[in-house]
Amino acid sequence: MTDSITPLTEAEVQRLRADFPILRTEVNGHPLAYLDSGATSQRPLAVLDAEREFATTANSAVHRGAHTLAAEATELFEDARATVARFVGADEGEIVWTSNATEAINLVAYALSNASLGRGGAAAERLRLREGDEIVTTEMEHHANLIPWQELAARTGATLRVIPLDDDGALRLDDAEALIGDRTRIVAVTHVSNVLGVVNPVERIVSLAHAHGALVLLDACQSAPHLPLDVKALDVDFAAFSGHKMLGPTGIGVLYGRRELLEAMPPFLTGGSMITTVTTTEAEYLPPPQRFEAGTQRVSQAVALAEAVRYLSAVGMPRIAAHEAEFGRRLVTGLSAIDGVRVLGAGIDLPRVGLASFDVEGIHSHDVGQYLDDLGIAVRVGHHCAQPLHRRLGITSSTRASTYLYTTEAEVDAVIDGVAGAIEFFRRGA
């Protein structure tokens, strides 16, 4: 996928790093090596300035006031929507603002639940789940793309089925073919595992689902920041991602939905700004996307996310993907060569982003993370909100290093050397 694209050069990465003030920080007397972008990425000055500029020159409620400032704020808010839509290959009216990807996925799950209660009229018929219907997800999902479907199954009487993994952590596609059938109503799958770093064969899963009339929701949290993403080319029905993982602020997320599906969906959150007419006994709702944007919106965050998208586009998503694929391979190769280190999913011959999770024999992931932190290296430790995946792989937690466009080769090597040092330190202490 990225073999023909030239990765970012070291000189280019250094120029980019100058845009990120936090990367000049020292931690425990060492220069910060930030290898936790899979959890939250850092923000360039352009994004920080965009949010401040809005707050100091255009701050106002959107879609509400008739005065000049309100009109300007609304224009910036909707321009941000159009910018993000272009970034993922969607139409402007197919992008719904949410607080994060978790809310976006819950929005779909609860809208389907409301449709199943008869809300939405005849247009929502295809969205209704009944006893005997099935929801399919996978064993590698983040909890945000698992628990909402557990709850939807409990509310509707549908059955939740799970595509299992093989011993390397790859989806068992033969089992997927057997699980996805005529009773399947929705398939929820992650594009890139936040633990394994591998890119899943989404096209194959979408084809299976659509052959049986099922909808597909894509968790794009780990793909939208790192890979070129075209929701129309992938042919997914819904996709969710978060701003804070792609150089944007916290408090802003995105739901993509096919226009015809959004138009059929009853709302999830209700209140002001998403209605046309209200009496004391009933209400009529606006068309999407405003139907799903109740209350005061996260305006400055949307403006900042649009600036993050422009920043990423200027660098070039194909080159970012190539940069990360190279570092992903470097992490896997270097860590796998250390005696006692097991890289999760290392045996999978699939495209990957710049992320690797690993288990160190006899040393808890928290201890590994603390040792690395003492060296100024920030990584993630724990189960990464993916307990079923860790349980399947026979461990309770792991250490995760994740790169981004501002990561250097020296930082990747520092993680590898740091893990080797941690093993020597703890074994010497034992």
Q: Is residue 289 reached through a cis peptide bond, with omega within 30 degrees of 0 on the bond before it?
A: yes
Asked if the model's pLDDT at residue 277 lies above 90, the reply is yes
DSSP string covering 137-152, please?
EETT--GGGTHHHHHH
Residue 346 banded pLDDT, cuts 50, 70, 90: confident
Q: Which residues are catalytic?
A: 385
Query: Tokens standing for 8?
Result: 């970012």
> Domains plus CATH for the chain?
10-44+316-429 (3.90.1150.10), 49-313 (3.40.640.10)
pLDDT at 349: 72
pLDDT at 314: 98
pLDDT at 3: 64
Asked whether the beta carbons of 369 and 379 are under 8 A apart, the reply is: yes
pLDDT at 65: 81
DSSP string covering 167-235, please?
TTS-B-HHHHHHHS-TTEEEEEEESB-TTT-BBP-HHHHHHHHHHTT-EEEEE-TTTTTTS---HHHHT
User: What is the β-pairing status of strands 253-257 and 275-278?
Assistant: unpaired
Token pair 């894509």 is found at 218
Asked if the model's pLDDT at residue 424 lies above 60, the reply is yes
- Which residues touch 63 (CB under 8 Å, ≥6 apart)? 74, 77, 273, 290, 297
Residue 64 banded pLDDT, cuts 50, 70, 90: confident
Closest alpha carbon to 124 in 281, 279, 291? 291
CA 357 to chain centre: 17
Asked if the model's pLDDT at residue 429 lies above 90, the reply is no
